[in-house]
Amino acid sequence: MRNNTRNKENSEPIIEVRNLGKKYDISHMRGGYVALRDVIANVFRNPFSFAKHKAKQAVGLEKKEEFWALKDVNFNVQRGEVVGVIGANGAGKSTLLKILSQITPPTTGEIILRGRVGSLLEVGTGFHPELTGRENIFLNGAILGMKKAEIEKKFDRIVEFAGIEKFLDTPVKRYSSGMYVRLAFSVAAHMEPDILLVDEVLAVGDAEFQKKCLGKMDEITKKEGRTILFVSHNMGAIQTLCQRCVLLEKGKVVKEGKTSEVISFYTTPKEKSEVVTLKEINKDAAITKIWLTDTQDEEKVQAIEMGSDIFLNLEYRIEKDLPAMDIAALISKDGLSILNSFDIDMDENFKYNRKPGLFETRVKLPTSIFKEGTYIIEIKIGTNRNISDPNATIKFEIINRKIDLTNKSYHKNRPGFLYQNLEWQTKKI
Amino acid sequence: MESTVIRPRKVFSLKDVKELWQYRELLYFFSWRDLKVRYKQTAIGIIWVILQPFVTMVVFSVFFGQLAGMPSDGVPYPIFVYTGLLFWHFFSGALSETASSLVGNQAIITKVYFPRLILPISSVVTKFIDFLLGATILVAMMIYYGYTPYLSGLLIIPLLLIITFFAASGLGMFLSALNVKYRDVRYVLPFFIQILLFVTPVIYPASIAGRYSWILALNPMTGVVQTARAALLGATSINWILLLISAIACFMLLIIGVVYFKKVERYFADII
């Protein structure tokens, strides 16, 4: 389809996404693939119920378990804009890119793309390990949608950018992983489409190369006026590259606008904590309320950004004179204790001769050294007779939305509880 | 300026054909890749392409030609069976390559858009190159046995190749798409191909079936093999009715293949 009215073309958005939705059937995804045997066996075992099932499906009566990866997504991108797409894992970012690059069709809605689209969901798609660097440039270029003549024209620039002149005729299986990624990105960077869709591809490669890639992408947009849709977890990269951002949450656009505004909206935890309120049982002493606040404006929170501390707040009542009493807070994760603290650690005399009354206490927890995850704090009151309430617990979440943890020792999938950069000092001996 | 509209898609349209044409270079690159990669790190490389049908021909000639005394329409058995094998290998090789073409390129399918039909078609193209290499042996054998083909016979060969090409493409598209959902295909296919060999007059002449040979012709390769022998070796006269039945069967296969492929194509990236 060609659009010949040039004036109209420039004022119209280059990407128009309207009421986009993508539905997955959960049953579809669970099994991976089905064996024909099971289907046939099912038909023969229960021919009647199979027919009923099919009939219901046809009429649309049967309720399948559905999952909308995207629902009612609407946004426009103007020519020459660099738009970032951000959101937590599972928010639908990758699905959006897959639909935009026509890998999978939408279930509802439509997208209009006014220009040649290049998608970079992965660097080195289709690279064949047995083929040489030279051969792979052509193969990968063709897969990315370049014409042979076009690749020939850009060949020298691709090789130069990747810095692999010497290894051009070596099979890429003998390349170092750095060389491999450099070559792959270099081919992709020379695609020159009107619209470039980029997924988290910059997570690979060393820091220096990442900078080079970001520089190249910046050049592509600033000098050549191309449009980029950029998905990343790297807020730094988003901030330097994109003027505008779209924030996805559970398959919906929840915020759209200037990058700085969207990022701050995204990184500010929104969940306000419910204060855990406990029934006052007839006991000598009891916790009545537990809540958490952040250390800056002392707002109630349930989730904090990785690297910040949190205040634990308690309210408790003492009914009568107690010869000895203390309060303990135990932080644990996945059933393993991490940190235990008593309110008498600072001053042991505080333990004795406690008077009746309603008290409020507050303690700063060093959560800035904790990794991502869900943590549980159990509160106990200790006297000569043990008074504990199993409900006196509060949960909090440490989330990471700013720091790229790929390759880091404190990535959440690696062992350990703490988030710490240690100074490794190495010298040659 | 080209503009694309992405909507929930359903059926095959003329746009698909246009798109295939736009992506013809990718088709070339996929075939080129498969050819390049196939015999890497082998000692005799491309000779394997010729060796396989040649050795099969020798074995068949010894067992079926010499020991079993299979009739061969008055033509020396080795050249009789090789003519059949050459087309048969093109067809069966293309079939097994295409069936795994989508699953084998999973990484590309889930990351880049291109008309998926290119993958099975490029597998058939790769096998066509093999056919051309194998044909050199046939030429050598024809010189050895002193056969000079008629000009009219040579003219019909391209038609036979087109039938083989599209029959393999059609069935291959169907199988490759089915394989995305049901991996059973890769276990069933070797048996299927073996059985198919026996209902194709490769080892024996179609005349063995007598007046029921039209049933054999429902298998498009029957018409192809039979006509190839008639055209190149003058074994029999060309049976046009047989060829027509095979051509129609080939066309049906192609339609079924394309329709099924397009129908399930949109789910490939989700379920592969």
d(CA B84, CA A352): 102
Place of tokens 């990351």: B111
CATH number at A285 reads 2.70.50.60
- What's the pLDDT at A64? 62
CATH number at A115 reads 3.40.50.300
Q: Which is more confidently placed, A412 or A132?
A: A132
Are A259 and A374 contained in the same domain?
no
Nearest chain B Cα to A136, which residue? B33
- What's the pLDDT at A58? 61
Q: What is the pLDDT of residues A4-45, one digit of tens each?
A: 444 445 578 889 999 999 988 765 443 445 566 667 776 776
How is residue A140 written in tokens? 């990968």
Cβ-count burial A219-248 (b if 16+ within 10 Å, e if not): ebbeeeebbbbbbbbbbebbeebbebbbbb
Cβ-count burial B221-260 (b if 16+ within 10 Å, e if not): bbbbbbbbbbbbbbbbebbeebbebbbebbeebbeebbeb
d(CA B109, CA B169): 19
User: What distance, in Å, lies between the first and last C-alpha atoms of chain B?
Assistant: 33
Enumerate residues 6+ apart whose C-beta is below 8 A from A173. A129, A130
- Decide if A251 is inside a domain: yes
Are A154 and A187 contained in the same domain?
yes
d(CA A91, CA A70): 8
Are A118 and A180 contained in the same domain?
yes
Reference B268, options B94, B166, B117, B93; nearest CA is B117
Are A213 and A291 contained in the same domain?
no
Are A232 and A299 contained in the same domain?
no
- What's the pLDDT at A103? 87
In this complex, do B26 and A142 lie within 8 Å of one another by their Cβ atoms? yes
Nearest chain A Cα to B185, which residue? A36
In this complex, do A130 and B111 lie within 8 Å of one another by their Cβ atoms? no
Taking the CA of residue B174 and the nearest CA in chain A, the distance in Å comes to: 15
DSSP H helices, chain B, are 14-22, 24-38, 47-60, 77-99, 101-104, 106-109, 118-145, 151-181, 185-198, 213-216, 220-233, 240-265, 268-271
Q: Which is more confidently placed, B45 or B130?
A: B130
Are A236 and A365 contained in the same domain?
no
Percentage of chain A lying above the pLDDT 70 cut:
83
Q: What is the 3-state secondary structure (H, E, C) of chain A?
A: CECCCHHHHHHCCCEEEEEEEEEEEHHHHHCCCCCHHHHHHHHHHCHHHHHHHHHHHHHCCCCCCEEEEEEEEEEEECCCCEEEEECCCCCCHHHHHHHHCCCCCCCEEEEEECCCEEEECCCCCCCCCCCEHHHHHHHHHHHCCCCHHHHHHHHHHHHHHHCCHHHCCCEHHHCCHHHHHHHHHHHHHCCCCCEEEECCHHHCCCHHHHHHHHHHHHHHHHHHCCEEEEECCCHHHHHHHCCEEEEEECCEEEEEEEHHHHHHHHHCCCCCCCCEECCCCCCCEEEEEEEEEECCCCCECCEEECCCCEEEEEEEEECCCEEEEEEEEEEEECCEEEEEEECCCCCHHHHEEECCEEEEEEEEECHHHECCEEEEEEEEEEECCCECCCCCEEEEEEECCCCCCCCCCCCCCCCCCECCCCCCCCCCC
Taking the CA of residue A240 and the nearest CA in chain B, the distance in Å comes to: 26
Q: What is the pLDDT of residues A343-366, one digit of tens each?
A: 999 888 888 888 899 999 999 999
Cβ-count burial B136-169 (b if 16+ within 10 Å, e if not): ebbeebbeeeebebeeebeebbeebbebbbbbbb
- Decide if A20 is inside a domain: no
Q: Residues A133, A168: contact at Cβ < 8 Å?
A: yes
In this complex, do B271 and A1 lie within 8 Å of one another by their Cβ atoms? no
Residues 295-314 in A contacting B (C-alpha not used; CB under 8 Å) = none
d(CA B257, CA B251): 10
- What's the pLDDT at B125? 94
Reference A101, options A200, A229, A197; nearest CA is A197
Residues 98-127 in B contacting A (C-alpha not used; CB under 8 Å) = 105, 107-114
Half-sphere exposure of B247 (CA within 13 A, CB side): 13
Taking the CA of residue A226 and the nearest CA in chain B, the distance in Å comes to: 14
- Decide if A148 is inside a domain: yes
Are A194 and A317 contained in the same domain?
no
- Decide if A318 is inside a domain: yes
Taking the CA of residue A119 and the nearest CA in chain B, the distance in Å comes to: 7
Q: Note if the pTM is more than 0.90.
A: no
Nearest neighbour of A112 by CB, restricted to B5, B28, B184? B5
DSSP tag of B195 = H
> Domain coordinates of chain B in residue numbers?
14-37+44-271
How is residue A44 written in tokens? 């023969």
Contacts of A33 in chain B (CB under 8 A): 180-183, 271
- Number of domains chain A is built from: 2
Contacts of A116 in chain B (CB under 8 A): 2
Taking the CA of residue A104 and the nearest CA in chain B, the distance in Å comes to: 6
At what angle are helices B240-265 and B151-181 packed, to 10 degrees?
30
A36 touching chain B per CB within 8 A: yes
Which residues make beta-bridge pairs with A300?
A293
Average pLDDT, chain A: 81
Half-sphere exposure of A9 (CA within 13 A, CB side): 12
Q: How crowded is residue B213: how many other Cβ atoms within 10 Å of its Cβ?
A: 20
A227 touching chain B per CB within 8 A: no
Nearest neighbour of B181 by CB, restricted to A33, A112, A115? A33
Are A235 and A289 contained in the same domain?
no
Are A132 and A241 contained in the same domain?
yes
How is residue B157 written in tokens? 């060969």
B151 touching chain A per CB within 8 A: no
Contacts of A136 in chain B (CB under 8 A): none
How is residue A48 written in tokens? 């009647």
Residues 87-116 in A contacting B (C-alpha not used; CB under 8 Å) = 98-116
Taking the CA of residue A70 and the nearest CA in chain B, the distance in Å comes to: 14
Q: What is the pLDDT of residues B183-228, one digit of tens each?
A: 888 889 999 999 998 888 888 887 777 777 777 778 889 889 988 9
A344 touching chain B per CB within 8 A: no
In this complex, do A121 and B181 lie within 8 Å of one another by their Cβ atoms? no
- Decide if A312 is inside a domain: yes
Are A239 and A356 contained in the same domain?
no
Reference B81, options B102, B62, B97; nearest CA is B62
Has residue A3 got a pLDDT over 50? no
Lowest mean pLDDT among A246-255, B9-18, B72-81: B9-18
Q: Return the number of CB contacts < 8 Å for A and B.
A: 122
Lowest mean pLDDT among A42-56, A326-340, B99-113: A42-56
d(CA A54, CA A41): 15
B194 touching chain A per CB within 8 A: no
Nearest chain B Cα to A35, which residue? B182
Contacts of A112 in chain B (CB under 8 A): 3-6
- What's the pLDDT at A28? 42
Band (B168; pLDDT cuts 50, 70, 90): very high
In this complex, do A143 and B40 lie within 8 Å of one another by their Cβ atoms? no
- What's the pLDDT at A382? 80
Length reported for chain A: 429
Mean pLDDT to the nearest integer, A91-112:
88
A47 touching chain B per CB within 8 A: no
d(CA B105, CA B100): 8
Are A212 and A312 contained in the same domain?
no
Question: What is the interface pTM, i.e. ipTM, of the complex?
Answer: 0.85
- What's the pLDDT at A4? 44
Phi/psi at A395 (5° precision)? -105, 150
B21 touching chain A per CB within 8 A: no
Are A222 and A302 contained in the same domain?
no
Q: Residues A85, A229: contact at Cβ < 8 Å?
A: yes
Nearest chain A Cα to B103, which residue? A33
In this complex, do B6 and A194 lie within 8 Å of one another by their Cβ atoms? no
Q: Residues B170, B250: contact at Cβ < 8 Å?
A: yes
Q: What is the pLDDT of residues A257-286, one digit of tens each?
A: 998 888 878 876 555 556 777 776 667 888
Has residue A388 got a pLDDT over 70? no
d(CA A149, CA A68): 42
Nearest chain A Cα to B27, which residue? A142
Place of tokens 């006196």: A392
- What range does the domain containing A288 cover? 276-399
Taking the CA of residue A25 and the nearest CA in chain B, the distance in Å comes to: 11
Cα distances (angstroms) measured from residue A296 to each of A259, A293, A300, A305, B41: 23, 9, 11, 12, 64
Has residue B141 got a pLDDT over 50? yes
- What's the pLDDT at B10? 59
